Chain A
Amino acid sequence: MTSTVNLEGKTLSSTIAKLNAPLMQAFDPRLSSESPVAIIPTPTYNTQAQRLADFDTLTAALEYAAAGAAGYNFYDAKGNLRSVLPYRALRLNARTSAQRLLSLGLVSGDRVAIVADTTPEFVELFFACRYAGLVPFAMPVPVNLGSHAVYVQQLRGMLEGGQASAALANTDYIAFLQEAAEGSQGLRWVGTPEQLGKLSAPDIALNANDPDEIAYLQFTSGSTRIPRGVIITERALMSNLRGIVRNGLEIHAGDRCASWLPFYHDMGLVGMVMAPMVAQVSVDYLATRDFAIRPLQWLRLISRNRATVAFSQPFGLKLCTLRVRDSDLEDLDLSSWRAAGVGAEMIRPDTLRNFAEKFAPAGFDARAFLPCYGLAESTLAVTFSQVGQGFQSLRVDASTLVDRKLAIRLQAEGRKYSEFVNCGRPLPEHTVKVVDDAGQELSDLRVGSVLVHGSSIMTGYFNNPQDTQKTLQPGNWLDTGDLGFVFEGDLYVTGRRTDVIIVNGRNIRAQDIEELAEQQPEVRTREASAFGITDTNDVTTIVLVIECRLTSTTDRQALTSRLQRLVYMAFGVNCLVELVPPHTLPRTSSGKLSRFAARQGFIQRTKLTDQLSAESGDI
């Protein structure tokens, strides 16, 4: 009786209600004749005393939360509640699944790969792994047109990179997973949650987890190269969760979360699955796909269930601003929303201003904006601004920023400026510093690389000592790859170093695009350079510059179209391809291409300077 209450197929009168249901299940005749059952979401006010993440491990936190009434609620694209998973049921189901996983012969520390659709089954499997002492990792769902082959390759990369012993996907994605698993040496079992559920659950005792064991792997880039799996221990995880719920969000009785963030993303998984649970708070979920197509549904969830905490990337806020109609505002009441967390990519003040302006008539209070900064390599969160204060920003002179790597507050109107959002202060047990290229710490307002030290830093990248060594510097300082400055104790992020391009909220590694190009017979190694250019409307475009020996217009056009198509299929974005004569791309003394110089060259050739926004990535 305590298992998931599943409403699948109970609202067949509307086909839209089946958005999340796999095609095959939608045909299932068993589902068609059942009458609707009224179910209610888990309550906001819990029946137990609230404990704010003061647990040694994730399963210890779930053991406690299971004694209360809170839990996870899953909504469909139309706003109907489809499944309710109270923490009590999650605990029971996860423990049973843990025994089934162990019956497959998996041993403590083995990795289990799970395609992470927004479903109760994913959450149950994730916690089942922890109960069994196994290390889960979440894999993405495909989102792009024509991405079949690329997606399978991406899954294969993760299965190999994480050396998974078992892999699961629901019926929608199992065919992709099976294709990816073909020929794998390490995989002992591949199947759906239903297939796992058919195995008998042997009465195997489940041992408590140790704070020093690996809690999960988080893959940071899903692309053509072997992706990197961040290793997070239980200790690091619990430290970060404590920081988030106590210091970042100041969670208290009456809080409720609403989220559309994907479960395969650190902000979705750590921030909106684990953090609420370790504070015994209820969450309402909308699948990412459903949010992306109809962003209004997320705001409706917040409005209807009186959610107080909801996070988004800036891009998600932009989608809301762009796609919600003014006529929809009448039915919304966003006044309960006290913590509108924003993070995971550069935050532009205008994105927040436009959102606040649009949704003020619906009761949205701009003081709810809560900019924060973090990355998977530090579990999730590093800095938080002060909750309830809204966002603060700093306008700095654009040319001084670029020429002298110095943020000088704007003195006179009329000069070109860049405005940066205050991301706040580090969580307890964490330190942030900004260093120059030589690793020397910089004073306030000087722009350099952002480094983080603290209790939620990763142990390293799984099975990848080379990248680990590059990222974790002596003294265990994590090089975030971001650029920024500190001012009066607060962190301001000003850009990314040129190795990552962020388009529509997704991180794309420049190297991945270049490698895709170099796989073409016409393109030689080290003759492709990829970077992003961001215009003053904050739209980032990927540019791929290729040194090309082809002379015929037809051949050149064919190469250009093919590259654009490949980039689209792999990353879901359009790109600009420029073919240049050999030896055009600038190289360093060691013969390596400089993306920064390539970008400067492109901007000069195309005379784009005035239309681009000044970022410290330009330095």
Chain B
Amino acid sequence: MKPILEIHKLKKTFPITSGVFRKSAGVVKAVDGVDLDIRPNETLGLVGESGCGKTTLSKMILALEKPDSGSIRFEGLDVVNARRGSLSQVRRGIQVVFQDPFGSLNPRRKIGSIIEEPMIIHREGSRVQRAKRVRELLEMVGLNEDILPRYPHEFSGGQRQRICIARALAVNPRLLICDEPVSALDVSIQAQVINLLVDLQKELKLSYLFISHNLSVVGYISHRVAVMYKGRIVELADASALFESPLHPYTGCLMDAVPEARPRKGPVLRSLKRGGIEQVSTDLPSGCAYRAWCPRAEEICERETPVLEKKGKDHFVACHLAAPQD
């Protein structure tokens, strides 16, 4: 099936300035040549540490940030150069749910008007039709319609996140970008929101780009997972294949770092001890960006930048040393 979103060789850099006169001191390659596609009715998980470019990538998909080069096509439409009519079409098709449900709802407006607003912006329906649609949306996300005249501060985090989801669904999007949608929520509430997202996907045939640093949540909800490191996709695979046999050493490192909810036997977390994974992603002249921390790095890793290559069924890795899977 034809992908709903196609990203090709996408690049975005930000200048670093220093000193009083804002002298240019190099660039940060926030997104450095990303190729990615999202299929209809699919959840693509995107994981990586803070600063790896996840949010910059999602902003470019939403046409909130203009890439330096590369292309993004949504249902055949050019997102990068979209103007007026086509931009509005793109924005109606792609909606977003943010991490912080406390910061993303206007505290001075009632829930009813918050959910209705996207429809007013996109000039959809009459007042009566919109009111009906708002009620439908509330039912969809499992909220009662008596909340309409209330204000956001009266709700808990989980309820607010449901309101955010209802607002995002108001204009019938096909692609929903979920930027850390559950990481601000408590464990028991997290499960409710994840279940809701799974149900909505089935019901409305939605596609999700699910961005998170929580690997177990991503593993649960995603069909395919992309791992991002310093602006590049280093591994892209079917969720179960990725978790069973991660091929990129960075993916392995990430998985080891996730604390398992099972009491440990013997010492753990030793491999990560006192290594500086945290380093600002400024330029490396060439080669693999991960080579400095990679236990298997060889001479070729310094010389050549690895590209995303097919190493198995639906399994792509950007590593010179990854062995092909049958």
Physical interaction between A and B: no
